[in-house]
Structure 1
Amino acid sequence: MEIQQLRMFLKVAEQASFTKAARDCGVSQPAISQQVAKLETTLGRPLFERQGRQVALTEAGEMLRRRALQIVSLVDDTARLLRDDGETGKIVVSAIPTIAPYLMPGLLDAFHGGHPQARLEVNEEVTDVILRRCALGEIDVGVLALPASRGYLRFETLFEEELLLVTAADHPLVGRGRVELDDLRDLPFVLLDEAHCLSDDIRGFCRRRLFQPVTTGRVSQLATVQELVAQGFGISLIPEMAVRPDPDARLRYRSLDGEKPFRTVTACWNPDRYQSRLMLSFLETVKHGRDRNRRSGGAVAAGDGLRPSPSATPCR
């Protein structure tokens, strides 16, 4: 077996297509088919079942996929160890959808400014996928919210972030001097679907106050949540960093009085993989990036009351 054969095999397994894998590898489709065929000849077993234009792993193929991921990861880690100059190389980062569009652009810009020769690949994925890919060595760093656990992964808390109440501009809560969580008990909520941990955070916070939020719908993007809130379909709790510019002033954001809901944002990585100087620099950028955003006025101050969104610049 050759390492390049394993890389091509893994790409076919990922894409479930020889044509797509060849495009991603920058080779012709016959070339990648030939390398996989040589691998099958060497092992004496078929690795794929052909299903029209797509392919699926055989039992032997799935076994090889798991081992090939480890082998390729070990080879890549060894090369990174030997070439680790802290300036060049590639980092693969995944972040959950309630963090990626708000926090990552500014962080990537800051990191690129200090490491212009480095390459960054950014993925937006839900928590379970990030944990699985991190464990397999397919990504270097995951950025997500607690709770999240996969025994042998390493986690480091980056910051805590308040969840702000968002309502339509004409909602009855607008103008009230104080709003506590108990005041939301019978109001309809617009939440993200079950794949997103933010909804678990909100439900868990409500359960601690002995009520279950009444939901009017579940969607997959925070932008949709806020649009439905603006149209009067309900209220919601969103992370500070997701506060969005609203030129028409249709939304109001506020910090709840009394006990405040928070989420904990963390980074995770596989401690069994080599931690390059470049990756450690990126982690430092992530940790300090939130502080820079706060100093620039990105956060809505606790207890600051209802305010139109243009006065609360979103953290990026």
Structure 2
Amino acid sequence: MPSILPTVTHVRHHVFVLLMLREIHCFTRVAARLSFSAAAADLGMSQPAMSQAVSRLERATGLRLFQRTAREVRLTAEGRALLAHAEQVIDAVGAFTAEAGRLARPTIHLAYPPLVGALAARVVRRLAARTPAIGVELLPAGRGAAVRALADGEVSAAIVATPAPAGLVTAARFHVTVDHLAVPVGHRLESSARVAPADLAGQVLLMPGSRPWARLPGRSRLVADDDFAAALDLVAAGAGLLPIPHLLVRTVRREDVRFVRLDAGDLRITYALAWSKERVTPELMALVQAVQDALWTR
């Protein structure tokens, strides 16, 4: 039955790697440059210190890693065989250090509608650049999913279409203008340069459930908030026309839907950053500030 305890050989191996990590790094650098002086300059060391580090590794392994002459430095066969393993050690240490740094960094989770993804990305960059840095995990979600994630504690905050549900604190409000209309291919309005509200009489309009726009004529069919992809499927199927923001027009490419300009006055969706008042942290307050700053410096 194999022992569950580490063998003496395993212990020696791990101790060797720990003690020789600096020397292994020096070995890989000399192998890359084939020059002790150049490798030393890369690592900010003196040339004698670099030679001593490689010599220590050679003594520890019992192998000669380089052939040195007055004119050149070459890897031995043993050195070539060990180089890939040495590089894996260095890469693993780098990955370990990076992951440890990421885990030690405060992280906040933010839900956002894909429509305002550019804003969410700016917020992530701002918080990553501050001191100390704050990591942000993004969760693309429509209004309903974002509110549920807030209630379940899966996210610290969410950018949601207003009005926000009762009990949530909101800040950093901003507006997205609704100035286009999605129509199915072949619809009589497809070739219109501009559509006025009067042109919508008798049409079925797909409206967000939380904010139907009373000023538009026609019959309303309520759809899920912020789920524009599903609403566009309904448009393509001939179930109705969809007022949408220009932000979406710039990113959507569909062969079965056309977008025409909608002149309906001050038609807009208002968004806000929302969070639970019971879950306020310094990182959350930094997020609020970052969203506000990102809105002011577009």
TM-score between both structures, scaled by the size of structure 2: 0.50
